[in-house]
Structure 1
Amino acid sequence: MMIERAASSSNATMKGTGPDTPGFGLYLHWPFCMAKCPYCDFNSHVRHQPVDQNRFADAMITEMRHYAERQKAAGKHQALTSIFFGGGTPSLMKSQTVAALLDAAAGLWTMADDIEVTLEANPTSVEADHFKGYAKAGVNRVSLGVQSLYDDQLRFLGRLHSAEEAKAAIKLAQAHFPRMSFDLIYARPHQTPNLWAKELREAIALSADHLSLYQLTIEQDTPFFKLYRNGKFELPDEDTSVALYEMTHEELERHGMPAYEISNHARPGSESRHNLTYWRYGDYVGVGAGAHGRLSLSNGRIATANERHPESWLKRVEADGTGALSEEVLSLEAQSDEFLIMGLRVKEGIDTARYERLAGRPLDAKKIAMLVEGGFLEQTSPTRIRATRQGFLMLNSLVAELAC
């Protein structure tokens, strides 16, 4: 396979990555779903006619080439340490489509020897059958959108799979991929800490090495927003939500899967390398409808944002080589703010010296001391701070206090 040949011939490895060496990622967005979940505000679209996968793949390769050539012209030679197929539902892609995209990436960039290649998947039986082909194409990590292990809750969340299908997909993923993760949504109506603890223990018993655990939030322009506003269901109150969050961290720590980010838990060494690239404020290329990117080029660090509508994005790429609607050279202030927002999400925290290099000024030592004394921050070294669990609960306020 092209991606395996490229990886084995590269001298680049993940050994040099860490808190201050975030790696370089490629994000590939597949925007199509079988149905729109009522809580979802992601850039996902339902099509009742077959999608022309060859045409969309060709456009994604064209957009990849656009950014690879710009990096080359700027003298930026970063090895890819991760590729992430997100959506939408990437597991609706044919394995040949995935293989074509990975082969193209391997031809445009140097691959790290142990590159992480993740594909998001829904655990329906039809999509799970694709796993063998994805593994052959070069995918080595799958992230399953399980969301709940109970059928009544899956129906409430608008999911198309059953709990048994989810468990079968988890086993199948473990048979084909060396690493796998799955998502669960909690703080659902009428959910108590005891009920959630029972579900968590069932999830842990399924032997994933990574769990993403998100509290249910009500986003505007979703069906849930209208139902919630009209009193059709209620969410747990703030005290219960905090209790659910605390119990989540305690339960996962007790079972050897501590939180390394606000909502993500992993056994040591199984953290998502791709997401850590975001949180460590590394560079990544965003390809596909609605994708975003951050790249360091000759004119500075740029933020890219693509057209969200899939067919409109497709036409833009075919006409211009990219589907970007906007491209902004980020100011030092904008970069330092993003670095702070992203970096304090992770348990390892941030390097205050790097913040000073980005912002052109240091963080306020008196504010840091005040927040440490209040139990919201920890100073783990002379140049490193991190949010405590209490700080995670009020992260936006914490970031605002430090940034101003």
Structure 2
Amino acid sequence: MALALYIHWPFCLKKCPYCDFNSHVRSGVDIGEWERALLSDMAYEARITGKRELGSIFFGGGTPSLMPPTLVERLIAQAAEHWTFAADIEITLEANPSSVESAKFADLARAGVNRSSLGVQSFDDKTLKFLGRLHDAGEAVEAIGIAQKHFDRVSFDLIYARPGQTRAQWQSELGAALAFGTGHLSLYQLTIEPGTRFATDFRKGAFEMPDEEIASELFEFTRFRTKTAGLPAYETSNHARPGEESRHNLTYWRYGDYVGIGPGAHGRRGGIATQRHRKPENYLSAVAEAGHGLVEQRVLPSGEQAAEAMMMGLRLGEGVDPSALAARFGITENCLLDAERTKLVEQLGFVTRENGRLRVTGRGMVVLDSLIAEIVGPDLMDAP
């Protein structure tokens, strides 16, 4: 499997109340300093991985569309020097659909970006205000159109199962999203993450979340509606026309090697887990001192790798091959899965087995985290 490269740009104009990503608001950013740091961090990883084939680059954040296109171009060009680009390399950049940022799309495409992922979140102005977004619905619609003109592939995010949202409202919004004809949609249920402003507001009773029955109904409807539109769910929250799946994210979910640079970025390469300093200032200091932004580098025991691979793979519609995973990590299949519990959840219709692959059904996806905790071998983390 080809290597993947993740580049984290940590800055936003405003911190959204639901967001627990590593994002920061700063009054000023020294672009030259950040270019030097990211290039140095990238070069460090390239020396370790060697000149492997690179299948994808993903600019995430934060808000990468705030980056100058010249910086994006420089990072892509340097990646091409370090690694061998796959003929069909996928280069994705996350963007907010504001008019200021969408005005950069033509320059970003010329810089080498061929796939955009837009943080639309909703087509309703009242909802966008509740979610703390800086764009309105009109800007979102316009940005999708501009992106479709400049990038080979376009995806956008929507958040559903929001406070007070009805099935009829979500049906209408999802129908509007599908009408744009993009080949990929990321559709997430709103979750209350610890440490966010929403966590505080929810605790104070500022709003109520939909109950589990309503959320499950919306989830099942979403999977049905996208499938009938030709964009089936290939992962828990991601839907695509066949062939338009995010190749970068598939590297994560199939447990391939990926390099992560920039503040807070994680990586997995050769059985080693890496993490960069989260705070931008600490990251810059670390790179200046050591030539890289690493705060942690840890060899993963085979059992832990197998557990991660199972947890990631079961999110996919294609499922996992337990026998192949067990052989890959040098453990037994009985260690990988609790056979008795797996048989039980299969009888209950939460998973299926076909041609050696274990897949989670739509019913099982609703309770995926609990399901994984039930069937992944309890002693797996203790495996050498």
- TM-score grouping bracket, smaller chain normalisation: over 0.9
Partner of 1:170: 144
Mapped pair 1:278 → 2:258: no
Mapped pair 1:356 → 2:326: yes
Partner of 2:237: 263
Partner of 1:205: 179
Q: Quote the Cα distance in structure 2 between the aligned partners of 1:303 and 1:26.
A: 14
- The question of whether the paired residues in 2 share the 8 Å contact of 1:124 and 1:169 is answered with yes
Runs of 4+ residues deviating >4 angstroms = none
TM-fit CA distance, 1:365:
4.1
**Correspondences of 1:357-372 after superposition (within 5 Å):** 357=327, 358=329, 360-362=331-333, 363-372=337-346
Q: Quote the Cα distance in structure 1 between the aligned partners of 2:326 and 2:65.
A: 42
Query: Per-residue displacement from partner, 1:256-311 (whole Å, max 9, x unpaired)?
Result: 11100000001111100000000000000000000000001xxxx10001110011
TM-fit CA distance, 1:225:
1.0
TM-fit CA distance, 1:355:
2.1
**Correspondences of 1:58-207 after superposition (within 5 Å):** 58-72=36-50, 77-207=51-181
RMSD (Å) for aligned C-alpha atoms: 1.1
Mapped pair 1:337 → 2:317: no
TM-fit CA distance, 1:224:
0.9
Q: Quote the Cα distance in structure 1 between the aligned partners of 2:20 and 2:340.
A: 39
TM-fit CA distance, 1:55:
1.3
TM-fit CA distance, 1:172:
0.2
Mapped pair 1:48 → 2:18: no
Match of 2:296 among 304, 316, 326: 326
Q: Quote the Cα distance in structure 2 between the aligned partners of 1:332 and 1:199.
A: 44
Partner of 2:277: 307
Aligned length: 373
TM-fit CA distance, 1:184:
0.3
Q: Quote the Cα distance in structure 2 between the aligned partners of 1:192 and 1:245.
A: 13
Query: Per-residue displacement from partner, 1:21-64 (whole Å, max 9, x unpaired)?
Result: 4x320000000001000111100000112x11121121111111
Q: Quote the Cα distance in structure 2 between the aligned partners of 1:190 and 1:46.
A: 30
Query: Per-residue displacement from partner, 1:326-359 (whole Å, max 9, x unpaired)?
Result: 1110001100100011000000011112221215
Mapped pair 1:373 → 2:352: no
Partner of 2:208: 234
- The question of whether the paired residues in 1 share the 8 Å contact of 2:35 and 2:71 is answered with yes
Amino acid at match of 1:303: A
Match of 2:192 among 218, 234, 248: 218
TM-fit CA distance, 1:223:
1.1
Q: Secondary structure at the match of 2:359?
A: strand
TM-fit CA distance, 1:378:
1.1
Partner of 1:386: 359
Moved more, 187-196 or 364-373: 364-373
Q: Quote the Cα distance in structure 2 between the aligned partners of 1:211 and 1:323.
A: 32
Partner of 1:37: 16
Moved more, 351-360 or 30-39: 351-360
Tell me the TM-score normalised to structure 2 length. Answer: 0.95
- The question of whether the paired residues in 1 share the 8 Å contact of 2:339 and 2:375 is answered with no
**Correspondences of 1:2-41 after superposition (within 5 Å):** 21=1, 23-41=2-20
Amino acid at match of 1:221: G
Q: Quote the Cα distance in structure 2 between the aligned partners of 1:133 and 1:329.
A: 40
- Where structure 1 has 5 or more consecutive residues not aligned to the other structure, the ranges are 1-20
Q: Quote the Cα distance in structure 1 between the aligned partners of 2:199 and 2:345.
A: 35
- The question of whether the paired residues in 2 share the 8 Å contact of 1:335 and 1:359 is answered with no
Mapped pair 1:287 → 2:261: yes
Q: Quote the Cα distance in structure 1 between the aligned partners of 2:129 and 2:330.
A: 47
Q: Quote the Cα distance in structure 2 between the aligned partners of 1:204 and 1:70.
A: 42
- The question of whether the paired residues in 2 share the 8 Å contact of 1:149 and 1:166 is answered with yes
Identical-residue share of aligned pairs (%): 52
Q: Quote the Cα distance in structure 2 between the aligned partners of 1:177 and 1:359.
A: 42
Q: Quote the Cα distance in structure 1 between the aligned partners of 2:296 and 2:135.
A: 37
